[in-house]
A and B are shown apart, each in its own frame.
Chain A
Amino acid sequence: MLTGVRQESNMSMETQPTLSHDSEHNVAVPKQVTSPWSQHRFLFMIAASIGAAFILVVISTSMYYMTGTAQLDLSRPSYQSVREELKKNKPSDSQAAFSSSGDITEEMFKDFIKRYDTRSKDTTSIDAFSGEPMSDQALGITSTQ
């Protein structure tokens, strides 16, 4: 009766058990018929992992550019010289954060003003992003006539 059992459909991706005869115990035992999916499960897993990694890379790279992080990232190879300059111009540790707790005293005001003046002097001393370096004259486009 059991031998009459047939695999109903070979369209399914799942492993379908069929029956074979066990001569020792004189009973029919299930025989595994494997689909391509289960035969190459490992390869599918590798391909899926690569696919997932690729999608994540695309998402993260687009976020990297869209959020403006790319503009701040000086670790790119073309920024080697700039990186070295950044190390040289690193602000000193004397400009630590001001404490938000404590009493109001004369010393507190003096301490704050000292820290603030040091930092603000560093910040405001250079006129950054002025139009001069990108002018026609600086780029050599100006008419000589």
Chain B
Amino acid sequence: MKMKRTLFFAFACCLTLGALAPVGRVFAQDIVSPSDEVIQQVTHSCQSIRNSLTQIHLRDGLFRVNRAQSYEFISTRLMAPLNSRLLINKVDASSLVRTTAQYDTLLNQFRANYVAYDDQLAATIAIDCKNKPAEFYEALVKARQLREEVHQNTLQLNQYVTSYRKTVDTIHADWSSAGK
């Protein structure tokens, strides 16, 4: 019985390792080891780089608050009220409701991605770049990737904002042509 359990445990471990191995390879491929020159420059300009990153961190905090407030305002105080007003008046607003739902999902994704980015940037700043330049640079590259995800989210949200506006124009034109 004990032997069976041990064998089962070993088998489960092998399966887990097998499943995780490709993931490890992907991460290893994503983060390229910094060259000697880069390491040298990071060590040399350590304090300056950290100051710049701290400034970026502060500015991003401001951007995040402003952006999230604006995006939320658009969703809850403009999109949602118009959707319900159109529905109450029996105007077909299904496309607007769909866009709003996609927008809200993306907004949640933006929030989650920002948290991941912010954590990574804070962790990067905390690394002693004078003594651990390679580790610092790898963390910086990861922070850049996460920042790019946040950036993509903002671009997609902007697209939804534009798309919603176009749909409103279409509904407006249809309503006008219907002679209401």
Contacts and interface: CB of A to CB of B under 8 A. Distances in A.
Interface of A: 68, 71-72, 74, 78-79, 81-82, 85-86, 89, 91, 95-104, 106, 108-109, 112-113, 115-117, 119-120, 122-124, 126-131, 133-136, 138-143, 145
Contacts of B172: 109, 113
Given A100-B84, A123-B70, A116 B165 contact: yes
A134 B147 contact: yes
B66 A89 contact: yes
12 contacts: A68-B111, A71-B114, A82-B59, A98-B81, A109-B168, A116-B164, A124-B162, A134-B143, A136-B38, A138-B52, A139-B53, A142-B41
A71 B118 contact: yes
B58 to A, nearest CB: 5
A102 B82 CA distance: 10
A120 B151 contact: no
Given A97-B76, A135-B144, A140-B52, 18 more contacts: A71-B64, A96-B77, A97-B81, A98-B85, A99-B81, A103-B89, A104-B91, A109-B175, A126-B63, A128-B67, A129-B63, A131-B144, A131-B147, A134-B53, A134-B140, A138-B52, A140-B49, A143-B38
Nearest to B169: A113
Contact of B78 (A74, A81, A89, A112): A112
